[in-house]
C-alpha cells in the first residue's frame, strides 16, 4: 500500500464520519483566533521590551567590517573644506563679486 492510498482512505473516512456542528466549529475557530492574537501580542510586547531595554533580538553582531575607506572620506572632507574656504573669501571681501545688473 502506498502513501497516496493511505491518505485517500483517511480523507474518505473523515468525509463519511463528519458530523457538522456549526456552533462547535465557530467556537473552535474563535478559540484558535484568540490564541493566535494573544500569542502575537505577547511576542510584540516581549520584542518591544527587549529592544527598549537595549537588548538584541537574535544573535548579536560581535564585530563589524568597515564599510568605507578612510582615505576616500578624508578626500570628501578636503573638498568641503575647500568650498568653505572659498565661501569665507567671498564673505570677508577677499573676492569681489561684480553684479552685472548694476
Supply the DSSP string of 32-80, one letter for each residue: HHHHHHHHHHHHHHHHHHHHHTT--SSPPP-----SS-HHHHHHHHHHH
The grid cell for 96 is 569681489
Please report the pLDDT score of residue 56 as a whole number: 84
Q: Which residues contact 51 (CB under 8 A, 6 or more apart)?
A: 57
Cell of 78: 578636503
Query: Is residue 19 scored above 80 in pLDDT?
Result: no
Predicted structure pTM score? 0.44
pLDDT digits (tens, 9 = 90+) for 31-58: 999 999 999 999 999 999 999 998 888 8
Amino acid at each position: 500500500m502506498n502513501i497516496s492510498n493511505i491518505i485517500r482512505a483517511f480523507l474518505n473516512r473523515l468525509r463519511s464520519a463528519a458530523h457538522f456542528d456549526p456552533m462547535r466549529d465557530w467556537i473552535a475557530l474563535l478559540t484558535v483566533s484568540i490564541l493566535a492574537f494573544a500569542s502575537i501580542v505577547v511576542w510584540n510586547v516581549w520584542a518591544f521590551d527587549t529592544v527598549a531595554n537595549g537588548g538584541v533580538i537574535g544573535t548579536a553582531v560581535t564585530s563589524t567590517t568597515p564599510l568605507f575607506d578612510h582615505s576616500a572620506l578624508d578626500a570628501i572632507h578636503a573638498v568641503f573644506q575647500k568650498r568653505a574656504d572659498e565661501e569665507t573669501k567671498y564673505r570677508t571681501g577677499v573676492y569681489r563679486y561684480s553684479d552685472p545688473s548694476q
